[in-house]
Amino acid sequence: MPDVQPSERDQYFAAQAHTRTLKGFQIHLTVYLAVIAGLFLINAMSGAHWWVQWPLIGWGVGILGHAYLVYRSGKLRNAVT
């Protein structure tokens, strides 16, 4: 079976899709950091027992999963070649 090279158009659309994927992850990470920082401040100022670790851990697992899907080996190479 012959090795078919993707056309420039295919590469362009793959790169465009990958850029949207990266931007989506960056937005997700930025919102996570901002919200966790806010929750940390609320928790620190309230003087109550520490509860901020639970959303940090729970949402953090989601962030790690999102990062894995975006940055897993091979996906970056396949999107632009």
Tens-digit pLDDT profile for the chain (81 aa)?
Answer: 556 677 888 888 888 888 899 999 999 999 999 999 999 999 999 988 999 999 999 999 999 999 999 988 655 555 555
Residue 49: its pLDDT value, please? 93
Residue 17 near residue 10, CB atoms below 8 Å: no
Residue 78: its pLDDT value, please? 56
